[in-house]
Amino acid sequence: MSLRSFVSRPTAHGLQVLERGSWLVFMVFLWWGVSGFATAQTVVPPERSLPLWQLKSGLHFAGKDVQALQADEFANPAQLWLNQGAQAWGLPSAANGKSCASCHGAAATRMQGVATRYPAIDAASGRLFNLEDRINQCTTRHQQAPALTPESDALLGLSLLVTQASKGMPLRVDIGGAARAHWQAGAALFTQRQGQMNLSCAQCHDQNFGQRLYTDPLSQGQPNGYPVYRLEWQKPGSLERRLRSCYAGIRAEMPPWGALEMRQLALYLTWRGEGLPVEVPAVRK
């Protein structure tokens, strides 16, 4: 039974045009999908093992004293490194007289949002940079000064200062383009069993957060509080240091400082914690 049995001739003609048109549109989409244009442009976001609505900062799992220390604007020990960072920001380089402020102006305003985007691909070299790498690139290239040692007070101070400009802003890292391959490497690392204890990050931090490892409550392993003042270190430290200490904890072989592996894992973690607000200066045990 055809369409024309129920409607008038002009309407039937219109419906036929519509029918043929829809068929044409369908064929175009089918071709587009099959040809790969769809996957290239409308990227399907990768599946999250931890849904966004379930994300919780490490602060949530921390004890009352740690929470109080983070909230105490005066007594938070990391404030002393922030002071150092603020001083270093305006310090002219011995080689060419340029300070961070010469190019960037005031850190509090001009560095807003920067810390939420790292790790990121450096346009010039194509390498994956974390925030400390970026600071060092500025130091060597634009200030003609030697690179700052990892975990040195000077680098921590600057890193804290730049991060503070993004206080409260949500983490949002780009995993498209060249970063995608790094993200995939990081995702693989996160679920890979390692070390003498043969544990993966996911086993503690995806599957068992909220439970206790001995008396320590397990957090989700979120990166929104870095650089962090860790009571265990009695000084601030970067995310790279914290990941290395996780490796030590599961008795895995630690990669050297500056390893790409650590940055890939950091990229994955920052994507995994998307939307969490930057906490600075954060305190953890």
Partner 1 sequence: MKWPTLTRREGLRQMLRVGLYGATAQFWPSFAQDMASGQLLSVAQMMAPLTQGARVLQQDVKIMAPVLADNGTLVPITAQVQSPMTAQDHVTHLYLLSQRNPVTQMAVFHMGPWNGRAEVSTRLRLAGTQQVVALARLSNGEFRYGQMEIIVTESACVDAS
Partner 2 sequence: MAFARIQWPERVLAGDVVKVRLLVRHPMDTGYLQDLLGKLVPRNVIRSLTCTWGQQEVFRVEPSSGISANPLFEFFVRADQTADMLVEWTDDRGVKGSLRQTLQVLPKPSA
- Judged by CB under 8 A, does residue 256 bind partner 2? no
Whether the link from the prior residue into 281 is cis, omega within 30° of 0, is: yes
- Partner from partner 2, partner 1, none binding residue 97, C-beta < 5-8 Å depending on class: none
- Looking at residues 62 to 101 of the shown chain, list those that interact with partner 2 (rule: CB under 8 A): 74-75, 77, 79-81, 83-84, 87
- Judged by CB under 8 A, does residue 14 bind partner 1? no
Q: Residue holding tokens 């790969």?
A: 36
**Through-space distance between the first and last CA atoms of the chain, rounded to whole angstroms:** 75
Does 246 participate in catalysis according to the annotation?
Answer: yes
Token couple for 253: 């072989």
Token couple for 117: 């985007």
Token couple for 57: 């900062």
Compute the least distance from the CB of residue 76 to partner 2, in Å.
9
Whether the link from the prior residue into 277 is cis, omega within 30° of 0, is: no
Q: What is the DSSP string of 165-185?
A: TTTTPBP----STTHHHHHHH
From the list 50, 55, 59, 69, which residue makes contact with partner 1 (rule: CB under 8 A)?
69
Q: In what order do the strands lie in the sheet with 235-237?
A: 235-237, 228-230, 282-284
- Judged by CB under 8 A, does residue 258 bind partner 1? no
Q: Which is nearer to partner 2, 18 or 71 (CB)?
A: 71
- Partner from partner 2, partner 1, none binding residue 127, C-beta < 5-8 Å depending on class: none
- Looking at residues 193 to 232 of the shown chain, list those that interact with partner 1 (rule: CB under 8 A): 212-216, 231-232
- Judged by CB under 8 A, does residue 53 bind partner 2? no
Q: Residue holding tokens 């175009």?
A: 28
Compute the least distance from the CB of residue 234 to partner 1, in Å.
6
Distance CA 88, CA 148 (A): 12
Q: Which is nearer to partner 1, 72 or 122 (CB)?
A: 72
Distance CA 187, CA 113 (A): 24
**Chain center to CA of 31:** 36
From the list 2, 9, 234, 253, which residue makes contact with partner 2 (rule: CB under 8 A)?
234
Q: Which is nearer to partner 1, 68 or 188 (CB)?
A: 68
Catalytic residues: 246
Which residues would be at the binding site for partner 1 (CB under 8 A)?
Answer: 62-66, 68-69, 212-216, 231-234, 237, 241-242, 244-246, 248-250, 254, 285
